[in-house]
Structure 1
Amino acid sequence: MFRPSPLAHRTAQLLPGVALCLAIGGVSLAIGAAAPVVGTALPAIALGVAVAAFRRPGARTGPGIAFSGKWLLQAAVVLLGAHLSLQDVLAVGAESLPVMLSTLTVCLVAAWGLGRALRIDGRLRTLIGVGTGVCGASAIAAVAPVIAATSGEIAYAVSTIFVFNIAAAVAFPLLGHALGLDAHAFGLLAGTAINDTSSVVAAATTFGAGALGFAVVVKLVRTLMIVPICVGLALRQPGSRRRELMRHPWRIVTLVPWFIVGFVVMTLANSAGLIAGPVRDTLLALSGILIAAALAGIGLSTDLGAIRRAGWRPLALGGVLSVLVTATAVGALALTGQLA
């Protein structure tokens, strides 16, 4: 009896959901072409949310939707590296570091103090704090096993973070235009103040040309902050988990997301002149398609019931932290003379 290979089986499992995300992404690209002021990012998310609200994705499309929301977005980020040089990345990283460290410090300190005042469990407030301060669900996923968070705490934290991801994708382009920011300053603001990579991409795409590449570089540098945070949290854990890290320090390397490595490789290839102009343009177009499909997948993954079940306290903590991080980033931009 013939049995399909694991790869063929996995492809067949993912195909329906990926096709749905690509279809919604295609509609959003058409909307963006017809109405450039609207862009493609917000229509992709909004259409995904609307479809999910009308009919929740089932077992047939669920795996492909989850794959699109994570892996297609990360692949798109890797392709964006083909348009930057290593010199650009190093310059942007150095410029964004003071703003990044100030927002991260404010967020983590406020998460500890306000979380205690709201009587939120220590593990949950840690997850919300690192999710808001670093890189959303990716940071939550990295930190959760370090602090032995329960599945319920992870679900609450991810649901809370998701609310403010969507809010940021809508609000930040408006805020950037209201403040009179150019693409460079907006990329710095979005990359340091929006918690999830998907929302950074959505906000920067909506804001206008030139902001996306800069915002993504800032965001990827910020994502690397999860490494020292995880190490610090591990060293504060009970003896067995702390000793495990000390015995196997090489495991720190596994905390670096693969797409950051891929982005750097693409940047190095472009810096060395290995990517021709037409190829670079093709990669940029493909990145736009993948971004639209990924954001559609994120919209389709919306679970309004989980958000309601999280309760008001985690939402209140996430909301206040998001406002504090944004205010700190804007303040840092003002101090460095980047506000109009």
Structure 2
Amino acid sequence: MKDFIQNETVQKVVFIILAVVCLTPIISSPIALALGFGLAIFMSNPFEKYLHKYIHLLLQVSIVGLGFGLKLNEALQAGKTGFLLTVISILTVMVLGFILGKVFNLEKKLSYLISAGTAICGGSAIAAVSPIIKPSTKEISLGLAIIFTLNSVALFVYPAIGHLLHLSQEQFGLWCAVGIHDTSSVVGAAGKYGDEALKIATTVKLARALWIIPVSVITMFIFKSKGSKIKIPWFIGLFVIAILLNTYFPVFNSLGSSVTAVAKAGLNLTLFLIGSTLSIQTLKTIGIKPLAVAVILWITISVGSLLYIIS
């Protein structure tokens, strides 16, 4: 049986079958993530070394597709609603992250990666500031492992808490966008909760992602990095174009539901791929101190934003 599981051909066949299943409506976002994680644990991922660049590309394409399900007035209202909370939460997390890094005697660069990932948009923020602060490969891997692990937990915990507290679609969408690190998990959790929550969460999260730019500029001064390039999330512009097309060109109205359905399937596949890159070995690399800092930051932003939203 062990030889059968470790057979590379068998692993590839199982991987492809599960990936196809995750494209169907019968699989929810949390289940897609769980299937990927289960594959990584029990069989191993035969395509892991090829997936990372495609995960980000698939996520970006799927996000743009969701733009065809939004109208401009909906997007502007969602962005306006989440602006103040976004500013407060980013400042709070970055300052608290600095303090906790000192308290736990954590490496400055690792502490900064965890803070930026929690404050803005998970792995994308870590990828954006890494060329500026120049952390070690181990610090980048550790930061990403922690963020993706907490994202996985959030994908299951947030909808359960939302239903328990009877949060409205608008409240839950806003809470997801602020409290969950990575865009993939934000969209996954909000999509499970409802279409309205998905629209609000996607718009607010992408508006939040634009804070990568000013935070990257500030990071250059903090770490005194000259000549560093700022990584701008250009796909957000395509998301806005998709909204404008859907708003002002009636021909896209009839296509909107089909495109968004494909986009949701793409997001499910993205979560499956993310889950398949997590493994017990990866989780074992996470130390107590960096995990403690990340969990405290996550609980702070989750509880604080929830109290703000329901007050």
TM-score (norm 2): 0.90
Partner of residue 235 from structure 2, selected from 241, 259, 262: 259
Letter in 2 for 1:40: S
Confirm or deny that 1:319 pairs with 2:295: yes
Contact 2:23 2:269 in 1 (8 A): no
Counterpart for residue 268 of structure 1: 244
* Corresponding residue for residue 215 of structure 2: 229
Partner of 2:169 in structure 1? 183
- Select the residue among 299, 324, 328 that pairs with 2:275: 299
Cα deviation digits, residues 269-308 of structure 1 (max 9, x gap): 1122154333112201211221121111011111321221
Residue identity (%): 30
Show CA shifts across 1:212-247 (max 9, x none).
Answer: 111111110111111111000102233xx34x36xx
Q: Deviations over 1:148-181 (max 9, x none)?
A: 2111111111111111000110100011112211
Query: Which deviations, in whole Å up to 9, do the C-alpha atoms of 1:11-63 show, x marking residues without a partner?
Result: xxxxxx99976642442455x53xxxxx61011100110011112223xx235
What SS does the corresponding residue of 2:166 show, helix, strand or coil?
A: coil
2:163 corresponds to which letter in structure 1?
Answer: H
Question: Which SS does the other structure have where 2:122 is aligned?
Answer: helix
CA distance in 1, matches of 2:242, 2:15: 26
CA RMSD of aligned residues (A): 2.2
Contact 2:118 2:147 in 1 (8 A): yes
Matched residue pairs, number? 302
Check if 1:47 corresponds to 2:35. Answer: yes
Cα pair 1:103 1:133 within 8 Å, conserved: yes
Q: Secondary structure at the match of 1:318?
A: helix
- Give the drift of 1:71: 1.4
Which of residues 21, 35, 44 is equivalent to 1:27? Answer: 21
Query: Gapped runs of 5+ residues in structure 1?
Result: 1-16, 34-38, 246-250, 336-340
Q: Would the alpha carbon gap of residues 133 and 21 (structure 1) be closer, same or farther in structure 2, given more than 3 Å must change?
A: farther
User: For 1:90-138, what per-residue CA distance to the aligned partner results, in whole angstroms no more than 9, with x for missing partners?
Assistant: 2211110111112112211111111111110111100000001111111
Residue in 2 that maps onto 1:212: 198
What is residue 131 of structure 1 aligned with on the other side?
Answer: 117
Q: CA, structure 1 residues 26+309, in 2 after alignment: closer, same or farther (shift >3 Å)?
A: same
Residue equivalent to 2:5: none
Shift of 1:64: 4.8
Aligned residue for 2:4?
A: none
Instruction: State whether residues 19 and 269 of structure 2, in contact with CA within 8 Å, keep that contact through their aligned partners in structure 1.
Output: yes
1:196 to 158, 175, 182: 182
For 1:140, the equivalent position in structure 2 comes to 126
CA deviation map 1:57-76 (0-9, x unaligned): 23xx2355334422112111
**C-alpha distance 134-158 of structure 1, shift in aligned 2 (>3 A):** same
TM-score (norm. length: structure 1): 0.83
